[in-house]
């Protein structure tokens, strides 16, 4: 495939991938630092797909009742125990693939769920085409085939990008079952992004 003008712009936009040391920290430290970063996917033989991360959640290990590793290591959660900078991709509700980034040293199951990105490439996409954890994997063409893969080199990488002007912190979405962890402030998003998955106020009732 011949690199065109568009592809050249993309490579100019992306610096070196975030290194393993970046991910070798607690997920609640990594998560806010990921806001603004570029998430790039290079599907074989296709044009790269890139989004700017604007919403994330931290899942902080076996003690965290909302974390998949809460029940310990199983076949499904084995990926969470892998090295920092590993992709953890799984299916929810029988139809949506969710993309996570494994944090902490190998053996410590922390992860950051990416909940929304602003489309960067291909250009011309609906700005809200990736404003949700299930939607962003479809937009970027990420699926369970990527589970367990390294994020330190293609086909999936993260790169430094413009940090948000203001970061909002709230409880995580969809974890009401997790007791005191349901209210833990572990969701972070760019206050100025139109691509955040939910409005600041809930949609319960009309006022």
Partner DNA sequence: ACGCGGATGCTA
Partner DNA sequence: AGCATCCGCGTG
Q: Which residues contact DNA by CB under 7 A?
A: 57, 59, 66-68, 71, 74-77, 88, 90-96, 98, 100, 111, 113, 132-136, 172-175, 177, 197, 204
Q: Which is nearer to DNA, 14 or 60 (CB)?
A: 60
Q: Closest distance between DNA and the C-beta of residue 79, in Å?
A: 10
Q: Where are the beta strands (DSSP E) in 32-126?
A: 38-41, 49-60, 87-92, 96-103, 110-121
Q: Closest distance between DNA and the C-beta of residue 124, in Å?
A: 18
Q: Closest distance between DNA and the C-beta of residue 158, in Å?
A: 16
Q: Which is nearer to DNA, 7 or 90 (CB)?
A: 90
Looking at residue 183, what DSSP letter applies? G
Q: Closest distance between DNA and the C-beta of residue 129, in Å?
A: 9
Contact (Cβ atoms closer than 8 angstroms) between residue 89 and residue 143: yes
CA distances to 8, 87, 97, 167 from 134, rounded to whole Å, are 29, 15, 6, 22
Q: Which is nearer to DNA, 138 or 159 (CB)?
A: 138
Contact (Cβ atoms closer than 8 angstroms) between residue 169 and residue 187: yes
Using DSSP's 3-state secondary structure scheme, residue 39 falls into strand
Q: Which is nearer to DNA, 133 or 164 (CB)?
A: 133
């Amino acid at each position: 495939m011949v690199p065109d003008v568009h592809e050249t712009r993309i490579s100019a936009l992306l610096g070196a991938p975030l290194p393993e040391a970046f991910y070798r920290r607690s997920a609640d430290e990594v998560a806010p630092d990921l806001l603004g970063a570029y998430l790039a996917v290079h599907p074989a033989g296709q044009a790269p797909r890139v989004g700017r991360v604007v919403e994330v959640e931290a899942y902080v290990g076996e003690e965290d009742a909302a974390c998949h590793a809460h029940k310990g290591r199983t076949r499904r959660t084995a990926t969470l125990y892998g090295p920092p900078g590993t992709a953890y991709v799984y299916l929810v509700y029988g139809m949506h693939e969710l993309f996570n980034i494994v944090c902490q040293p190998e053996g410590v199951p922390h992860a950051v769920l990416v909940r929304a990105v602003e489309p960067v490439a291909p250009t011309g996409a609906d700005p809200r085409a990736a404003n949700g954890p299930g939607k962003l994997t479809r937009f970027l063409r990420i699926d369970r085939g990527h589970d367990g893969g390294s994020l330190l080199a293609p086909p999936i990488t993260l790169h430094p990008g413009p940090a948000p002007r203001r970061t909002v912190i709230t409880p995580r979405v969809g974890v009401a079952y997790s007791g005191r962890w349901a209210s833990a402030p572990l969701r972070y998003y760019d206050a100025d992004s139109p691509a955040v998955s939910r409005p600041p106020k809930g949609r319960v009732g009309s006022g």
